[in-house]
Amino acid sequence: MALSIGIIGAGEMGIAIAHLAALSKCTVALYDINDEVIRRALEGIRFALKNSVNDTTFTKDDLQLALERIKKRTQLADLDTCDIIIEAAMEDIRVKKDLFKKLDTITHYTTRLVSTTSSLSITAIASATKKPERVAGMRFFRPILSRPLIEIVRGANTSDETVEAIRAASDKLGRETIVSRDTPGFVVNRIQSQFFGEALHLLEDDAAPAATIDRIVQLQGGFNAGPFRQIDEMGVDTHFEESYALFERMFTDSRYRPHDIERQMSDAGQRGKKSKQGFYSY
Amino acid sequence: MKTPNSDNQNASRSIAVTGDDRLIGELRGLLQEHGFTLVMADDASALASAGADITAGLELTTATSGEKKERLLLLDAVLPPSIPILSACVTVTAARQASWMRHPERLVGWGAFPGLMDGPLAETAVPLHTRASAVASARALLAGFGKEMVIVQDRVGMIFPGIIAQIVNEALFATGQHVASAEDIDKAMKCGAGYPLGPIEWGERIGFADVAALLEAMRADTGQDRFRVCPLLRQLAIVGKFWKERPVVPEPVQEELALGDPGTDAPATAKKNRKRSKKNAPPAQPDEPPEAAADVQTDAPPEVRQEDIRDI
């Protein structure tokens, strides 16, 4: 029997996870409050999957089977038969706690409830449930289809069984896993905060232009892309918000200070690639 | 110390060198590959033999101590004023070094740092009094062994060494705080963020003592607390061990963890048993040998079977 995954939120993250799960032969229940949003999400997945069709590794029959694995859901209660429910809603603790509180009442206690949050506390989200031991974090990384990692976040009350169940599910999705404690930024965002933060300090101090810093990091360090190119990709405003959230959760430790240059760019509409202007022009 | 090369076609490409053995060792192959001859500046007879063949001086001491100053002053004294000198300036700014010299106009700072010498670029810093011809000579010299000169601000840490030191430090903060294992942290950054090496692997490659020294220098230079060295890095720097030798990270006894005590799906009796075993447990041995501690730390997950997936 295939692993059954419920996904809450048909935004960019939810769509990519549904896509990945369907390719990994899992059954997917894709939930969003808005029927039109789900319809467009499914169209997007169909389009992306169609582009993957070839004669050998992913045939037209495989495409059909993958699409059939994704079911549209507009009622949370319809997720009650899922083995694992992945919440990919907006980064708002109230929204997430409300969702988990509802999930706690409609799902069997053996269903694992996970959040894809990148900046909120899993322990805080789990506190909305009566069985916090079945709640954990499951962080995917963009681009989700090609980044081979899932960061499993263990909340203060997450059980070993839940961690292992998520590890098994991640394995099913073809992803490597690491386990992190529920601390601000977990592992990747916390360490990335220094990568981006130091580069932004250098730029603020006029140590070198952004393109020069990127070039040095790329060529001297062997990184795929420099920090400013990466921020442009993820969105200057998004990165600023994430940095600010981390800074606050770290009790304003100066190591994690966000940078005014990003706030100003966001205010000016220079939000990176998506607005065609960030540290670079597109 | 003059090698056979110095009498052939490469005779005019001799470089007088002082500095740390490790950094010189990392550069020696590259320089020789490009036809340069290294002459140790503290070898008076070799220096005399090379004579007019010497076209540049290289000072490759990374420490901030008096040794750096002594070696730079030696080069400044033995080389004619027209010869440019490139000096490692990651931990001491080029401006500071120039202030020590009799002929500061020939100094160009170079971001030479252990473990970071492979790339095709050379971060450089040009102090205020450096003459244009010295910069041009430095550019030509670096190009001569395949490095493109990139001029950046003259600051402790420069660009890449400072960034990577902060990454290593943060990873060791996280390791010491049991956010994740060192192995998982390296894996996370390689698989999740596309790093070519994990942060701990970077630290291992550079050397933890050098990373700590750089952070201390950055903190001293800027007065900023964000460069504070984490306790685990401080220990690794003192012990001088690379990560492969597995320093023992203190691990609290599982039952005593306040935050890390996982909830469990196990029945209540199991919890009672745990409490009972805690009561009867012998006192912890703080000075267990590393091998024994490594066994305790092993947290390999139990093998997951397909039926477990179905049962969740």
Q: Mutate which of A129, A191, A217 to disrupt the B interface (most B C-beta within 10 Å)?
A: A191
Q: Is the pLDDT of residue B278 over 50?
A: no
pLDDT < 70 regions, chain A: none
Report CB contact under 8 Å: A215, B177. no
Report CB contact under 8 Å: B153, A206. yes
Closest CB to B194: pick one of A167, A215, A223: A223
Cα gap B6→B172, rounded to integer Å:
46
Q: Give A224's Cβ-side CA count (13 Å radius).
A: 10
**Which amino acid does the sequence have at B38?**
L
Decide which of B291 and B147 is more confident.
B147
Q: Is the pLDDT of residue B296 over 50?
A: no
Residues of A whose CB is below 8 A from B184: 178-180, 187
Peptide bond into A143 cis (omega under 30): yes
Give chain B's domains with CATH numbers: 7-151 (3.40.50.720), 160-245 (1.10.1040.50)
Report CB contact under 8 Å: B191, A147. yes
How many angstroms separate the CA of residue A36 from the nearest CA in chain B?
A: 32
For the segment A71-91, what is each residue's pLDDT rounded down to a tens digit? 999 999 999 999 999 999 999
How many angstroms separate the CA of residue B156 from the nearest CA in chain A?
A: 11
For the segment A198-255, what is each residue's pLDDT rounded down to a tens digit? 999 999 999 999 999 999 999 999 999 999 999 999 999 999 999 999 999 999 999 9
User: Is residue A64 classed exposed, middle or buried when 0-12, 13-18 and 19+ CB atoms within 10 A define those classes?
Assistant: exposed
Residues of A whose CB is below 8 A from B187: 149, 176, 178
pLDDT mean across residues, chain B = 81
For the segment B59-117, what is each residue's pLDDT rounded down to a tens digit? 999 987 789 999 999 999 999 999 999 999 999 999 999 999 999 999 999 999 999 99
Cα gap A126→A129, rounded to integer Å:
6
Helical segments of B51-131, H only: 66-78, 94-100
Q: Which of A91, A113, A88 is nearest to A102 (CA)?
A: A113
The residue of chain B with its CA nearest to that of A222 is: B196
Q: Mutate which of A194, A201, A206, A251 to disrupt the B interface (most B C-beta within 10 Å)?
A: A194
Residues of A whose CB is below 8 A from B196: 221-223
Q: Is the pLDDT of residue B311 over 90?
A: no
For the segment B256-268, what is each residue's pLDDT rounded down to a tens digit? 544 444 444 444 4
How many angstroms separate the CA of residue A275 from the nearest CA in chain B?
A: 23
Q: How many CB pairs under 8 A join A and B?
A: 194
Could you state, in order of their start, the residue ranges of all structural domains in chain A? 4-181, 189-275
Can you read off the two tokens belonging to residue B273?
């048993």
pLDDT at residue number B310: 36
118-177 in chain B: CB under 8 A from chain A: 119-121, 123, 150, 152-153, 155, 158-160, 162-164, 166-167, 169-171, 174, 177
Q: Is the pLDDT of residue B283 over 90?
A: no
Q: Mutate which of B163, B177, B197 to disrupt the A interface (most A C-beta within 10 Å)?
A: B163
Q: Is the pLDDT of residue B252 over 70?
A: no
Q: Is the pLDDT of residue B178 over 70?
A: yes
Angle at A78 between CA A77 and CA A80, to 5 degrees: 70
Pairing of strands A70-73, A84-87: unpaired
pLDDT at residue number A174: 96
Report CB contact under 8 Å: A205, B153. yes
The secondary structure of A195-256 as a DSSP string is HHHHHHHHHHTTSS-HHHHHHHHHHHH--SS-HHHHHHHH-HHHHHHHHHHHHHHTTT-GGG
B256 C-beta neighbours (distance < 10 Å), count: 10
Q: Does B287 touch chain A (CB under 8 A)?
A: no
Closest CB to A159: pick one of B167, B262, B302: B262
pLDDT at residue number B238: 84
Report CB contact under 8 Å: B120, A219. yes
User: Across residues B38-57, what is the average pLDDT?
Assistant: 88
- Region A189-275: CATH code: 1.10.1040.50
For the segment B210-238, what is each residue's pLDDT rounded down to a tens digit? 999 999 999 999 999 999 999 999 999 98
Classified by CATH at the fold level, domain A4-181 comes out as Rossmann fold (3.40.50)
Report CB contact under 8 Å: B308, A168. yes
pLDDT at residue number A121: 96
User: Is residue B225 classed exposed, middle or buried when 0-12, 13-18 and 19+ CB atoms within 10 A define those classes?
Assistant: exposed
